[in-house]
Amino acid sequence: MIDDNSELFKEKFRQAKDMIAAAGHPVVLTGAGISAESGVPTFRGEGGLWKQYNVFELATPEAFTRDPALVWEFYNWRRELLAKCRCNPAHLALVKMEQRFSPAFTLITQNVDGLHTQAGSRNILEIHGNLWQVRCLRCGRLDTVYGVFESIPPKCDQCGGMLRPNVVWFGEALDPQVLGAATAAAESCDLMLVIGTSAVVQPAASLAILAKKRGAGVIEINLEETDHTGRLDITLLGKAGEIVPGLMDGL
Ligand code: BV8
Ligand code: ZN
């Protein structure tokens, strides 16, 4: 059941539902927390990726230049783990939300796990890329490859160049087109749901504050409070897999 059953929670939940029902062009921003109930380790929480690997050491262009095989071991490990993960009721509830508001709906995700696509979402901005895509450093060819790579670092079957994961590493710029579209969506929405993000990573974290500044209502759904909590309209504490489907009930 939803973790916080207090009267206050119920009142905030009702307000959030009303804001969604009254929205004209909502935007959703998701982080690792929406995939946690699918078995995907978050970056910071219990059993998070940071605990086993120093993601800073591995998810950077410097690390890849220094030791591409080591970085590919890390991404192969995540591919093996993710291959067993399935979308959860929170991902599916956002598909229902998109169907209700489309075309005036944008889903911005920081996640690279592809679970929103697996659930059936369509209008997605994967601002940190996608772990299932690879890019050739020599000819720039983009490919979607599932499963793990037997020989690492993998080579391009067109030109023999080295392949890299098509994700945005720390210290790398986000794709200007994708970031531009996400910024435009945050600036023009009348409601933003921020689901399962610690609001630490930039420039993604600024999108919620930008939406708020432009007059949108902003609802945060998280297991715990974040740096944004005091600056947003409503924070619902609990599991995304329980709260998000409840919010979309009756849409
Ligand atoms: C860039 C792909 C500049 C790789 C990722 C200010 C401005 C600009 C940059 C910076 C800045 N300050 C610092 C920076 C640098 C850096 C940064 O933000 N560092 C942080 C750590 C301080 N930013 C960058 O480097 C970005 N690039 O700005 O470039 C530039 C410009 C021009 C030219 C050159 C350079 C690039 C950032 C992208 C990094 N790549 N992913 C990969 O995954 O392998 S980020 C990666 O970590 C994820 O994609 C995700 O975005 C992030 C983790 O964040 P969250 O999703 O929030 O996950 P987290 O585990 O932290 O939190 C989970 C939350 O869920 C928690 O709150 C938890 O309570 C909650 N939760 C858990 N379970 C549940 C739940 N909630 C609900 N239900 C549950 N069941
Ligand atoms: Zn190539």
Give the model confidence (pLDDT) of 183-220 as tens digits: 999 999 999 999 999 999 999 999 999 999 999 999 99
- β-pairing, 191-195 vs 217-222, is parallel
Task: Please give the average per-residue pLDDT across 149-157, as a whole number.
Answer: 97
112 in ligand 1 pocket by Cβ < 6 Å?
yes
Of 84, 134, 131, give the one whose Cα is nearest residue 109.
Answer: 131
Of 31, 11, 29, 58, give the one whose Cα is nearest residue 194.
Answer: 29
Residue nearest atom 73 of ligand 1, based on CA coordinates:
33
In the predicted model, is pLDDT for residue 27 greater than 50? Answer: yes
Domains in the chain, start-ordered, CATH in brackets?
Answer: 1-40+87-128+174-251 (3.40.50.1220), 41-84+129-167 (3.30.1600.10)
201 in ligand 1 pocket by Cβ < 6 Å?
yes
Can you give the pLDDT at residue 108? 99
Can you give the pLDDT at residue 90? 98
Q: Which atom of ligand 1 is nearest to the CA of 170?
A: 25
The CA distance from 242 to 93, in Å, is: 10
Between the CA of 145 and the centroid of ligand 2 the distance, in Å, is 14
200 in ligand 1 pocket by Cβ < 6 Å?
yes
Task: Establish whether 91 is a catalytic residue.
Answer: no
For residue 75, CA distances in Å to 59, 172, 231 come to: 9, 17, 35
